[in-house]
Amino acid sequence: MNISKLDSQEKLIIRLTIVIFPMIIVLVILLSLRFGLNFATGDKETAGSIFSGVGVGALSGIFALVISLTLMVVQMSSQQYTHRIMDIHLKSLIFWAVIVIYSGSIFYNVFMLGWLDLENSSSIPYISIYVEISILLTFLSFIMLIPYFYITMRRLKPETVISKLLANIDEDYLKRVYKEGVASKEDKMLPITEIIEKSISSGDHETARLGIDMIYTCYISWAENAKILKSDGGKTISIFNDENAAEIIIDKKENGKLNIRADVSHYFLKYILSIGREAIIRENENSMKQVLETVGKMGERAIRENLNISARKSVEYTEIIGSKVLKDHDPVTQQMIDSLQGMLRMIIKNEYLFSMDSVPGGDDEKLKEFLKYDFDIDWTENAEIRKSDDGKTISILKDENSAKIIVDEKKEKATLKITDFRTHDLKVKTENGKLIIYKRGDEETLREIFTLYHNTSDELFKLRNYQMLKYMGYSVYEILDSMMTNRCYDIIARTAELLESIALFAVKREIRDLLHQSVHSIYKMGISSAKDKLMWGTPKRTGAERIIDHLLKIEEEALKYKSELQEFDSIINEIEYARRDIEKYGEEEEEEDFSDLWR
pLDDT bin (cut points 50, 70, 90) of residue 233 is very low
Let me know whether 577 and 489 are in one domain: yes
SS3 at position 542: strand
DSSP codes joined into one string, 114-145: HH--TTT---HHHHHHHHHHHHHHHHHHHHHH
Task: Supply the CATH number for residue 425's domain.
Answer: 3.30.457
What share of residues in the chain are helix, strand, coil (percent, to 5)? 65, 10, 25
Of 388, 416, 439, at which residue does a domain stop? 439
CA–CA separation, 55 and 46 (whole Å): 12
Let me know whether 591 and 539 are in one domain: yes
Phi, psi of 594 (to 5 degrees): -120, 50
**114 pLDDT higher than 80:** no
Let me know whether 124 and 152 are in one domain: yes
CA–CA separation, 545 and 233 (whole Å): 54
Give the pLDDT of residue 119.
53
CA–CA separation, 491 and 477 (whole Å): 13
pLDDT bin (cut points 50, 70, 90) of residue 284 is very high
CA–CA separation, 414 and 428 (whole Å): 6
Domain count, the chain: 4
**597 pLDDT higher than 60:** no
Would residue 466 count as lying in a domain?
no
Question: What is the residue type of 519?
Answer: V
Let me know whether 180 and 128 are in one domain: no
Quick one: which of 48, 55, 50 has its CA closest to 120?
48
Give the pLDDT of residue 243.
41
Burial of 523 (0-12, 13-18, 19+ CB in 10 A): buried
Let me know whether 180 and 323 are in one domain: yes
Sign of the Cα torsion 456, 458, 462, 464 reads positive
Let me know whether 537 and 586 are in one domain: yes
Would residue 18 count as lying in a domain?
yes
Let me know whether 173 and 300 are in one domain: yes
Would residue 474 count as lying in a domain?
no
Question: What is the residue type of 172?
Answer: D
Let me know whether 189 and 278 are in one domain: yes
Element (H, E) at 265: helix 265-281
Question: What is the residue type of 150?
Answer: Y
Of 115, 135, 156, at which residue does a domain stop? 156
Q: What does the pLDDT look like over 70-110, one tens digit per residue?
A: 888 887 877 777 777 787 778 888 889 889 988 888 888 88
Q: Are strands 413-418 and 401-407 parallel, antiparallel or unpaired?
A: antiparallel
Q: What does the pLDDT look like over 443-485, one tens digit per residue?
A: 889 999 999 999 999 999 999 999 999 999 999 999 998 888 8
**182 pLDDT higher than 50:** yes
Quick one: which of 244, 261, 338, 259 has its CA closest to 297?
338
Give the pLDDT of residue 6.
73
Residues linked to residue 430 through DSSP beta bridges, in sequence order: 435
Let me know whether 311 and 370 are in one domain: no
Would residue 458 count as lying in a domain?
no
Question: What is the residue type of 529?
Answer: S
Sign of the Cα torsion 32, 38, 40, 41 reads positive
Mean pLDDT over each residue of the chain, to the nearest integer = 79
Radius of gyration over every alpha carbon of the chain, rounded to an integer in angstroms: 35
- Residue with more model confidence, 487 or 521: 521
% of the chain residues with pLDDT over 70: 80
Going across the sheet that includes 393-398, the strands are 352-355, 434-439, 423-431, 413-418, 401-407, 393-398, 384-387
CA–CA separation, 361 and 597 (whole Å): 40
**125 pLDDT higher than 80:** no
Burial of 31 (0-12, 13-18, 19+ CB in 10 A): middle
Instruction: Among 160-169, 329-338, 359-368, name the most confident range.
Output: 329-338
pTM: predicted TM-score of the whole model, two decimal places: 0.74
- The alpha carbon of residue 71 and the mean position of all alpha carbons in its chain are separated, in whole angstroms, by 35
Residues linked to residue 536 through DSSP beta bridges, in sequence order: 541
**Rounded mean pLDDT of 115-130?**
60
Q: Name the residue range of residue 52's domain.
A: 3-156
Determine the angle formed by the axes of helices 466-478 and 330-351, rounding to 10 degrees: 20
CA–CA separation, 392 and 413 (whole Å): 11
Of 128, 156, 184, at which residue does a domain stop? 156
> If you count them, how many residues does the chain have?
599
Let me know whether 344 and 374 are in one domain: no
Would residue 446 count as lying in a domain?
no
Would residue 162 count as lying in a domain?
no
**Rounded mean pLDDT of 36-45?**
57
**258 pLDDT higher than 60:** no
Neighbours of 309 (CB within 10 A): 17
Instruction: Among 91-95, 241-245, 269-273, 405-409, name the most confident range.
Output: 269-273
**563 pLDDT higher than 70:** no
Would residue 449 count as lying in a domain?
no
pLDDT bin (cut points 50, 70, 90) of residue 588 is low
425 within 8 A of 339, measured Cβ to Cβ: no
pLDDT bin (cut points 50, 70, 90) of residue 539 is low
**Rounded mean pLDDT of 496-510?**
91
**598 pLDDT higher than 60:** no
Sign of the Cα torsion 539, 541, 543, 544 reads negative
Instruction: Among 26-40, 75-89, 315-329, 411-425, name the most confident range.
Output: 315-329
Would residue 460 count as lying in a domain?
no
Neighbours of 423 (CB within 10 A): 9
Let me know whether 201 and 327 are in one domain: yes
- Residue with more model confidence, 581 or 186: 581
Residues linked to residue 548 through DSSP beta bridges, in sequence order: none
CA–CA separation, 15 and 18 (whole Å): 5
Let me know whether 181 and 46 are in one domain: no
Quick one: which of 509, 512, 498, 495 has its CA closest to 572?
512
CA–CA separation, 317 and 300 (whole Å): 13
